[in-house]
Amino acid sequence: MIPATNLIHDPLPVTTIAAILEETAGRPALPRLGAPEWEIARENPAIQTWLIPLKERAIASADEPMPELTDELYAHFSRTGIRLPFEKRYFKRRNLLCYSAIAILLGDASYRVRLESSFVTRLTAIMDETSWALPASIREQPTGKDPEMIDLFAAETANTMAELLVIFHDLIPAGLARRIRDRLHAGTFENYANRNPPFPWTEWAMNWNAVCHQGIVGSALAVETDHVLVAKILSRAAAALQEFLSGFGNDGSTSEGPGYWAYGFGWFSEMNSQLEHRTAGRLSFFEGDEKIKRIARFAPAFTFSNGHFVNFSDGNREGRLNPALLAYLGRRLNSPILTAHAHWIYRHHAEVGIDLDASRSDFFYCSRLALRAPTPEQLAKASEPRQTDEYFDDYGAVVARGTDRAGHFWELAAKAGHNEEHHNHNDCGSFVLNIDGRPVLIEIGAPEYTKDFFTLPQRYEYLAARSLGHSVPFVNGCEQGAGREYKTSVIKAELSDDRLEFVVDLTGCYPTQARCRRLIRTWRWDKPAGKLTLSDTCELAEPGTMESILLCQDDVSHQNGALLIQGKTLVRIRPVTDSNVQIESCAYRGHRGTDEKLNRIRITPSSPPSTSITVTCEITVG
């Protein structure tokens, strides 16, 4: 067998890549309609809980018109900076296409008869969209349209269209198929390969780089017959993807968190799957790269129990990793822990289903969810894997778990870092705490995405991104500054089965007007005792004030010198130092555009202003 060449680390001439593509031609991206793989998937109990309602939706919505993307909606973002009105319809159109396609693939023959016309109609509607990119990606065009823009979702759409061309080869009318191929060839493949200068995202060390490349590379591998053009795309992509991988620490960490890990690294992994499959293992983006294995382990480590993420930066608090992605990584990297995670999440989906209305419940997701599902025997044996405590030195973050003597399960994550991270929030020294599978002290994570939220300095006027929206100190009335120069250093990170001690120097995170000479935050966690001690010690250049701020979602009250957080498990926060406490209700817009609130706890020494201030509190259950 010819060994695989990693194109990122060992570039090949375009002519050599083209020759490999020609030698290995004829390997479809996914099995064609009617292939045995779909027949096997159809009967798998791991997917029935979501497949049955999906098929019902496909039938019920077969004659439903596609939500219209009007000129007014395209231009709405340019006028208002608000994304959701357009995007809700945009993703609904792709969901409807998914329902029809998956129902035909995984239903009996009657579904093809009933849904063939609906499928073709929906495919045609998406083909007819003037621009596949979101208006939020086309800021310089008041119309919100740019047919030549390849953003995240134009790339995703290209990949979906190409894969549907392959799978439904005998179902798609020849004229429509030719139109799709022509648009992909000119608008995606030649547009990317010949663009000079290249798209800006080719130089970004974050998810855009990987996701856009996956859509371009994946669709080209699926349908493009000009092997030299595809080779040119692969060569150009491999060079750019070096920058994407540089965005991860040598420890595999990313400040984008597990949600964006699943997007950026997830789509990078799917692209590798497509490349290795299409070239019969001759070409790869994974082969021989030990860092890939470390990156693959990061997100499961940063995942809490009961469907929660560690959501620093623009992360989502609730969610589960894509089990189809974990199944692929577990098999490709020979990782039993990743496979165990995949089976456990598949078991959850088998019990409660998936959110078919989620924007990510599209054909790309559902097709792989079906094809990689575990066997009934594997599903029955699935259990939640035991995670080890981890310290990520490059990120400056720790995640730990433990069960106290009373049986309460604690999960803690804390970070140092700097204030120019990917999807940055001014949050050095922040932390999240879950007990018994429920959030106690929280991060907002991603708020509603608007134009201003991705514009400086407006971003840091949003509660989610400014330091007053995080559990960090507030010094002399000053929040943390934004920028790479506002950074921390880790003094100590010690983890064991019974205890954790994490000590971070936050001095450099505050502007000069804070008059802060030294600020040390310390977490000490006695796991068996069920006691977490948080201490902030500050030295100021002149007498002043410092507050320790904590954020929680549940109701909180101040009783007998302690704070009680009234969640599923009653949590007590007791200031050790003599302190004054304020509780504030803060409003913000959630990621899906909903009105949300949280409680901000402000703990301040009761003594007069001083140059030496310490605030210490103990967190226990009950």
128 within 8 A of 97, measured Cβ to Cβ = no
> What tens digit of pLDDT does each residue of 355-378 get?
999 988 999 999 999 999 999 999
512: left (phi over 0), alpha (psi -120 to 50) or beta: alpha
**Helices assigned H by DSSP within 224-304:** 227-246, 257-278, 290-301
52 within 8 A of 384, measured Cβ to Cβ = no
CA 295 to mean position of chain CA atoms: 14
d(C-alpha 356, C-alpha 44), whole Å: 19
The residue among 300, 275, 266, 220 whose CA lies nearest residue 369 is 266
HSE at residue 369, side-chain half, CA atoms within 13 A, is 29
496 within 8 A of 371, measured Cβ to Cβ = no
Listed as ranges, residues in the chain with pLDDT below 70 are 1
Q: What is the pLDDT of residue 392?
A: 97
d(C-alpha 300, C-alpha 75), whole Å: 39
Strand, helix or coil for residue 551: strand
Strand, helix or coil for residue 56: helix
5-6 and 283-284 beta bridge pairing:
parallel
The residue among 506, 513, 542, 510 whose CA lies nearest residue 615 is 506
Domain residue limits, the chain: 390-621
Tell me, what amino acid is at 168?
F
The residue among 41, 39, 46 whose CA lies nearest residue 354 is 46
Is CATH 3.40.50.300 the classification given to domain 390-621? no
Tell me, what amino acid is at 140?
E
Tell me, what amino acid is at 36?
P
User: Global pTM?
Assistant: 0.95
d(C-alpha 175, C-alpha 597), whole Å: 52
The residue among 392, 401, 452, 459 whose CA lies nearest residue 427 is 459
d(C-alpha 116, C-alpha 112), whole Å: 5
> What tens digit of pLDDT does each residue of 542-577 get?
999 999 999 999 999 988 889 999 988 999 999 998
CA 11 to mean position of chain CA atoms: 29
